[in-house]
Structures are given as structure tokens and as C-alpha cells.
Amino acid sequence: MLSEKVLAALNAQINMELNAFYTYLSASAFLESANFPGFAAWMHHHAEEEMEHAMKIYHFVHERLGRVSLQAIPAPTQSWDTIKAVFEAAMHHEQKVTASINALVDLARSEKDHATEVFLHWFVKEQVEEEMIVDQVIQKLNLIGDFRPGLFMLDHELGEEAEGES
């Protein structure tokens, strides 16, 4: 059985993952309309991953005989000034998710909930990878600067990467 505190925190994390899904999907829609189909596909792929994260926790709560309680998802940002700003927003979001997962691990530990703590290890590792992946794109965008052909080449590269992963 989950303690009330852990259950509430897991439900809050489901909401945060759905919020991430919404944020990435909104970024994908923006990039699509800005005629960057590769960046859009990359964001779309990551949106789907966030939905998978939410569902992993959703199923775990049920396995632990808890009650999933879905909450409202805030409206995401709709547009950004630059491509780099889109990825910086994604990085900011990932850092918030990482902090939230770490706080959840601390809570599971203090509640002596070993099953939840072990379950969360996957998310701890996933966050390391997610922050690294977003950072790689930001670094490439830094190198490209205002060089438009470079931007189109990266758009193509990320589009192929998204295709390979889906």
C-alpha cells in the first residue's frame, strides 16, 4: 500500500509528466507552423515519451492499489522568439522534472517505501539522459548562431533522429 503522502506525490508527478507532454506538443505545433518539420518531429517524439512516463506512474499507482486522481493541466506556452528559446524552455522544464523526481525519491525513502524508491530509479536515470539530449541540441544551436543553412541542416538531422526512434 502507498502512504497518503507518496500517493499524492505520485499523482502530482503524473500531472507534471502530462504537463511535459503538453509543453512538448505545443512546441511541436509551433515548430511545424514555423516550417521546421525536423524540429517539430523531434518535439513530437519527446511529447510521446512524456505520455509514456505519465502512464508508467499511472500503472504503478494501480499496481500498488492506489487511486489515480487526474488534475488540470495548465495551458502551455504557444510561441517562442527563436528555435533556441524553444529548446531552452524544454531544458528548464526537464530541470523542474528532475527536481521533482529527486524530491519523490527523498519522500519514498523517508516513508520507507522501498518499492516506490526502486520504481523511481528508472526516472532518475531517464532524467540524466533527457537533460543531456536537450543540452546537445542547445549546444549545436549555439554553434550555428545566425547561420540559417546550419539551422536547416540541424532541422533535417533531428527529423531523421526522430524518425529512427519512432
Separation in Å, CA 140 to CA 59, 97, 133: 37, 23, 11
Site for ligand OFO in 97-156 (CB under 6 A): 97, 123, 126, 130
Nearest residue (CB) to ligand OFO, 32 versus 131: 131
- Helix, strand or coil for residue 74? coil
Q: Is 57 in the site for ligand OFO (CB under 6 A)?
A: no
Q: Which residue has the cell 505519465?
A: 54
Q: What is the DSSP-derived secondary structure letter of residue 111?
A: T
Among the listed residues 14, 19, 94, 158, the single contact to ligand OFO using CB under 6 A: 94
Q: How far apart are CA 50 and CA 136, in angstroms?
A: 19
Among the listed residues 53, 83, 86, 108, the single contact to ligand OFO using CB under 6 A: 53
Type of residue numbered 154: L
Q: Is 157 in the site for ligand OFO (CB under 6 A)?
A: no
Nearest residue (CB) to ligand OFO, 104 versus 154: 104
Contacts of residue 142, Cβ cutoff 8 Å, sequence gap at least 6: 84
| Size, binding site for ligand OFO by CB under 6 A | 9
Taking CB atoms, the residue at the shortest distance from ligand OFO is 53
CB of 56 to ligand OFO, least distance (A): 9
CB of 148 to ligand OFO, least distance (A): 29
Q: To which H or E segment does residue 63 belong? A: helix 37-63
Query: End-to-end alpha-carbon separation of the chain, Å?
Result: 35
CB of 93 to ligand OFO, least distance (A): 7
Dihedral of alpha carbons 30, 35, 37, 38, sign:
negative
Q: Is 18 in the site for ligand OFO (CB under 6 A)?
A: no
Among the listed residues 17, 113, 117, 155, the single contact to ligand OFO using CB under 6 A: 17
Q: Which residue has the cell 514555423?
A: 34
> Which residues form the interface with ligand OFO (CB under 6 A)?
17, 20, 50, 53, 94, 97, 123, 126, 130
